Amino acid sequence: MSNQEVVILSVGGVRFVTRASTLQQFPESRLARMLNNDDREFKLENGEFFVDRDGTLFSYIMDFLRTLQVSLPTDFSDYQRLQREAEFYGLYTLADLLSQEHLLKPRLEILEVRFSLQEMQAFFRIFGSCSTTIETLAEQISVFTGQQSGQSWNSPFPSQKPLVPLPLERPSHHDMVFQCGTDYSASDQFVARYVSIKPDNRKLINGTNVLGLLLDTLLKDGFRLVSTRTVSSEEKVECYGFERMKRPASLTVMVNKTPGSSGAAQAKRNQAQKGK
């Protein structure tokens, strides 16, 4: 059979259409041998190969053959059943990846926002269990400073003078610190700090407004608010706790395409997500 020829499979009543080359990714698998009529488990009826197995789980097997990646939904739980199906089809590389269940399961990610309001200044500290999330958030948040005459905390408009960007403080890979608001300087002028959070282009000076935009940004990014508490009523420190399920990195296999290859494959971690 030509590797470009279209093949139709009916697996447990679910119909799949693919190319022969997709099924031949692993030459020693039963799916590859099926194309040569070397396996009685697969019956050819009316131009379709009939397989009496789970059709829903076979969709994940087809996705693996097409992409050479194992990428499962966050709510997936049938690891052992899918491993058993992979073994049935002779896809032992996939079965081995599925046995590493801890690499495929989504992880709970925790993030905490601490907000302190002191006179005309607001202080923020963000802690995260995943350093990648903190890095991404740090790229979205910008702080600007400038001097203004007679400008107060509640002024909605930044000075017409050019504002100077300030770097965020990064005590560690898992947290960041920044502040906004105004403070007195010499010559009876205000030193103002503005915060901007992409994709919103506004430069905000009011701490409550910045907090609202920050919380809204986290909610839109898939986090859910799970707790609020007052750490210190005297210092006006509030703490907001967030959680979300972080998808694991995909597991990818590199298929050996050299002549005489038996279809052996080597698994490696996809580096699309690095943080823990």
User: Based on the structure, what is the number of domains in the chain?
Assistant: 2
CATH number of the domain at 35, please: 3.30.710.10
Query: pLDDT at residue 142 above 90?
Result: yes
Cβ neighbors of 233 (< 8 A, separation 6 or more) are none
The reply to whether 252 falls in a domain is no
Query: pLDDT at residue 84 above 50?
Result: yes
The predicted model gives 142-156 an average pLDDT of 66
Q: What is the DSSP letter of 186?
A: G
* Two tokens, residue 187: 């010559």
The reply to whether 215 falls in a domain is yes
The pTM of the whole model exceeds 0.85: no
Query: pLDDT at residue 102 above 70?
Result: yes
- Residue 69, classified by CB atoms within 10 Å of its CB into exposed (0-12), middle (13-18) or buried (19+), is middle
Query: pLDDT at residue 203 above 60?
Result: yes
Please state, for a pLDDT cut of 70, what percent of the chain lies above it.
79
pLDDT tier, 44 (very low <50, low <70, confident <90, very high otherwise): confident
Q: Which of 80, 103, 45 is nearest to 247 (CA)?
A: 103
* Two tokens, residue 196: 């901007």
The reply to whether 32 falls in a domain is yes
CATH number of the domain at 146, please: 3.30.1410.10
Q: Give the range with max mean pLDDT: 65-69, 72-76, 151-155, 253-257.
A: 65-69
* Two tokens, residue 219: 């909610």
Query: pLDDT at residue 55 above 90?
Result: yes
* Two tokens, residue 1: 């059979």
Of 31-35, 188-192, 200-204, 222-226, the range with the lowest mean pLDDT is 188-192
The reply to whether 253 falls in a domain is no
Q: Say if residue 97 is in the same domain as residue 112.
A: no
User: For residue 246, what pLDDT is reported?
Assistant: 76
The predicted model gives 48-59 an average pLDDT of 94
Across the chain, the runs of DSSP E, i.e. the strands, are 6-11, 14-19, 43-45, 48-51, 69-70, 107-118, 121-128, 141-149, 164-166, 169-172, 175-185, 189-197, 224-232, 237-246, 251-255, 265-269
Of 29-33, 72-76, 269-273, the range with the lowest mean pLDDT is 269-273
**Which residue is it, tokens 């610190």?**
177
- Contact (CB, 8 A) for 122 and 208: yes
- Half-sphere exposure (CA, 13 Å, Cβ side) for 137? 31
Q: Domain limits at 180?
A: 108-150+160-246
Query: pLDDT at residue 266 above 70?
Result: no
Query: pLDDT at residue 251 above 70?
Result: no
The reply to whether 23 falls in a domain is yes
Q: Say if residue 125 is in the same domain as residue 224.
A: yes
User: For residue 200, what pLDDT is reported?
Assistant: 94
